[in-house]
Structure 1
Amino acid sequence: MNNSLLKNLVLLWLLFVGLAVKAQQNNQPLPQPVIPDYVADPSVVNFNGTYYLYGTADIDRDLKEMGPPVVWASKDLVNWSYKGTLFQGIDWNKPYTYGPEGKKKTGYFRYWAPGVVIKKDNLYHLYATIVKPDARLGTYHLTAKRPEGPFKFSNGSGVFSNQPEKESEETKPVVADIDGDPFVDEDGQAYIFWRRRKAAKLSKDWKTIEGLEVSIPTKRSGYSEGPFLFKRNGIYYYFYTLSGGANYAYAYMMSKTGPLGPFVAPEQDMVFKSDVAKGVWGPGHGNVLRIPGSDNYLFFYLEYGQGGTTRQVFVNRLQFNADGTIQPAQVNTTGIAEIPNLNKNTLIHPVKVTASSARRDTVIKTTINTVIDKLIAMPPKFVETELVSVQRIMDFKPENAIDGSNGTFWMSDNADKEPWYQIDLGTIRRVNSLELFFVKSTLGHSFKIEKSEDGHAWKTVNTPASQVIHSPEVVNKIGKTRFLKLTILSGAPGLWEVKVY
């Protein structure tokens, strides 16, 4: 066989493989993150029939700046919304100056990794990490009369930075570290767990730790964060993370004695790790929810997203063996499909959508260690054969906002100074409401909605401005129309989803 023919056969084979891979990707179900926005470090609880998801508001600005703290609420684990922030008194997106003259720096307050919220004595108790502009940090205790807040600090009036006149009022953290997560045993004794495998009892008022800190020995060593503990059938399960980024993973220990151990490692102690075939990268900092009145346990966790702080929340089941050990999780991006959608409003499906522009496709590349579950010492010593290069191609076409997926979105081009998004219903319909799930919703948006029956004569729909951040943005009583046009005046020019009812 001559070189020319061989070369042509190779090119044809590569083309065939490329088309086959693309076809396979196109046939895969759309990803179904729980929340239509960037959210990390989820903790989900149920109070009085409503689920509440507390988490870190990612805004794609690394860990140096985050969005304000919010809590998403849902009746069915399918339809989620929030309104307002969890507590007042801090401007989360204002740069603060600190340091001595001549060496002044700026930084932001940041809210991270809220633990499971627990109700006691008609109060809701929240433990959350707050990082100050000067990088001092801790896990703080806050309480509220409602799950949505407003929450107030229990150990002082607030968190301050570089303000000596307020030092006497400054709130004290429960622990001077991140990722604090509480657990209350059946006897009423409360505990708190935080990063680097640390744990302690909490005082009766839950405001401080009591006694000595405990270091929990685990099968796998190295840096660890995002810990939590839950109990099932008399067994205490301690979860802790390994590595980070696209190599985030979760292992666990078991105890039949108590929340502080002694713990033992099951033979199969790795429960969550990346699955390249299923498209899950770095299942990391999360928490477990037991569905009330059942033995169903769901694990909510962050997924790598586009890297940095563009993480999203996914959910998969925990399955238990007869001896109480946990089966390695079957992670995927499709979620819990059989959860019923309780939204009975009639959804109008647009015939066509257009936009002023769309951002160019983005290729996200990273490397995943395929044998992280076989490594005991952390950080591991990788060898080249254990590393797999993976990539995602993100597109931002207008159709993404009507595809029913919380994992795709439309975004205008960076150079677009007047971004707009238009919906064609195909014929004149009566529209009761419009729901807009904006990208980076916690930073707030201002916008204009117009309607038209012919696509030429437009009428502005009354959209009163609100200073309260929320998602979705809802516009009611639109009336008869065929076309709807959104013009984004401020805020991130993108939409996860648009729903017309």
Structure 2
Amino acid sequence: MFLLLFHFLTVQIFAQNPIFKNIFTADPAPLVHKGVLYVYTGHDTASVNAPNYRMPDWHIYSTKDMKTWKHHGAKLSPATFSWATGDAYAAQCVERNGKFYWFVSTFHKPNSASGGGACIGVAVADHPLGPFTDAIGKALIVNEMTQDKPHAWHDIDPTVFIDDDEQAYLYWGNGSMKWVKLKENMIELDGPITVDTPKNYIEGPWVYKRNGWYYLVYAGNGTNPEMIEYCMAKSPTGPWEYKGIIQENVPNSFTTHPGIIDFKGKSYFFYHNGALPTGSMYRRSICVDYLYYNADGTIKPIVQTTTGVSKAP
């Protein structure tokens, strides 16, 4: 009885940020559907002294009020894709025409037609919680399609944006940013791949539109622990005007990763750090804080907190 009471009290007094404490999570990708906010996450399982990432699967959490969260467990893994191997890197799920497309970054099996290396796949489901299956039976983006960088992991961190005219765009990349149009079916490219790397860009792009402005938010300044920087444009293809840093280094993690969403009248900024007990740059945890804009549409600096956000109505 004492142990149960102690556990209850510990949970009750723990600060909200990081918001998920039952496992280590990374690379948040929020999605709002029918009054529910879903967060699609990576899953860090590296040991305390591990020298690298170990990310076996992707998980989903949901909330209706930004305070009470439900963990739906692992809903996708590289094993879902017959051609894939390795870790479950950053991913994003988007809805279109009643289906949910989960764009993921992982690695291709060696000695395959693609030659291996990082790649981007697509899973599809009829519900935001799945079940998800491989949408095309092969990778959408493979290493051989983009030769601008020599390292094998430059095709990671997909983000998808669907504009008001229904044109969909895929953005991704480590070391350089690439983008390409997608066909309406969301599983075929609709044109050539373009490399368009903004100032200080490293990885983890997130693209969205607000009040006529397009925002490209990303992890940058990679000579130090990453910071979140951003650009604005009047078109989803640029030209991108650099606006500066909006989030400084996060505690106990070299990387950070943005996920931005509006929900019930507020704007939210999701990211990860290494602040949980035994956390580290390979054992990260997702946080959320408010995001605010200036009158001209520029983003105010993110205030990182341990208390997080208030309950939404």
- TM-score, normalised relative to structure 2: 0.78
Give 2:63's aligned residue.
Answer: 74
Classify the secondary structure of the residue corresponding to 2:91.
coil
In the TM superposition, 1:103-114 aligns within 5 A as: 109-114=86-91
Give the SS at the match of 1:247.
Answer: coil
Q: Secondary structure at the match of 1:90?
A: helix
Provide the residue aligned with 1:241 in structure 2. 219
The verdict on how the C-alpha distance between 1:321 and 1:154 changes in structure 2, with shifts beyond 3 A counting, is same
1:113 deviation in Å? 0.8
Deviation at 1:214, TM superposition (A): 2.0
Instruction: Provide, for residues 158-213 of structure 1, a one-character-per-residue CA deviation record: whole Å limited to 9, x for no partner.
Output: xxxxxxxxxxxxx1223541111100000000001101221111122111222222
Give the superposed CA RMSD. 2.8
In the alignment, does 2:94 pair up with 1:128? Answer: no
Cα 1:280/1:172, change in 2 over 3 Å = closer
Shift of 1:327: 1.4
Tell me the secondary structure at the aligned position of residue 236 of structure 1: strand
Distance 2:253 2:76 in 1: 32
What one-letter code is carried by the residue in structure 2 that aligns with 1:123? K
Q: CA, structure 1 residues 214+110, in 2 after alignment: closer, same or farther (shift >3 Å)?
A: same
CA displacement at 1:111 relative to structure 2: 1.5
Matching residue of 1:208: 188
Is the contact made by 1:64 and 1:108 (CA closer than 8 Å) also made in structure 2? no
Structure 1 residues 194 and 138, CA, compared in 2 at 3 Å: closer, same or farther?
same
Contact 2:159 2:206 in 1 (8 A): yes
The answer to whether residue 179 in structure 2 is matched with residue 199 in structure 1 is yes
Please tell me whether residue 262 in structure 1 is matched to residue 229 in structure 2: no
Which deviations, in whole Å up to 9, do the C-alpha atoms of 1:375-430 show, x marking residues without a partner? xxxxxxxxxxxxxxxxxxxxxxxxxxxxxxxxxxxxxxxxxxxxxxxxxxxxxxxx
- Partner of 1:56 in structure 2? 42
| Contact 2:156–2:172 (8 Å) recurs in 1 | yes
1-side partners of 2:253 and 2:54: how far apart? 23
CA contact (8 A) 2:59 2:74 kept: yes
Is the Cα–Cα contact under 8 Å of residues 57 and 76 in structure 2 kept in the other structure? no
Residues 139 and 197 of structure 1, relative CA distance in 2, 3 Å threshold = same
* 1:38 CA drift (Å): 0.5
Aligned AA (1:48): K
What stretches of structure 1 of length at least 5 have no aligned partner?
1-28, 93-106, 157-170, 343-501
Matching of residues 78-157 of structure 1 within 5 Å: 78-87=67-76, 90=79, 109-115=86-92, 117-132=93-108, 134=110, 136-156=117-137
Q: Which amino acid aligns with 1:172?
A: A
Task: State how far apart, in whole Å, the 2-side matches of 1:68 and 1:216 are.
Answer: 30
Q: Is the 8 A contact 1:290 1:297 kept in 2?
A: yes
1:277-426 correspondence runs (5 A): 284-292=256-264, 294=265, 296-305=266-275, 306-336=279-309, 338-339=310-311
8 Å Cα contact 1:180/1:193 also seen in 2: yes
User: Which of 27, 30, 33 does residue 47 from structure 1 map onto?
Assistant: 33
CA distance in 2, matches of 1:198, 1:113: 15
User: How far apart, CA to CA, are the structure 1 residues paired with 2:188 and 2:87?
Assistant: 22
> What is the 5 A alignment of 1:425-444?
none
1:81–1:66 CA distance, 2 compared to 1 (3 A): same
Find the counterpart in structure 2 of residue 439 from structure 1: none
Distance 1:30 1:274, change over 3 A: same
| 3-state SS, counterpart of residue 274 of structure 1 | coil
> Gaps spanning 5+ residues in structure 2: where?
1-13, 111-115, 144-154
SS of equivalent to 2:141: coil
**Aligned pairs, number:** 274
Paired position in structure 2 for 1:35: 20
Deviant stretches of 4+, over 6 Å: none
Q: Which has the higher contact order (CA 8 A, sep 6+)?
A: 2
Deviation at 1:91, TM superposition (A): 8.2
The normalised TM-score by structure 1 is 0.50
Q: Distance in 1 between matches of 2:74 and 2:280?
A: 25
Structure with higher Rg: it is 1
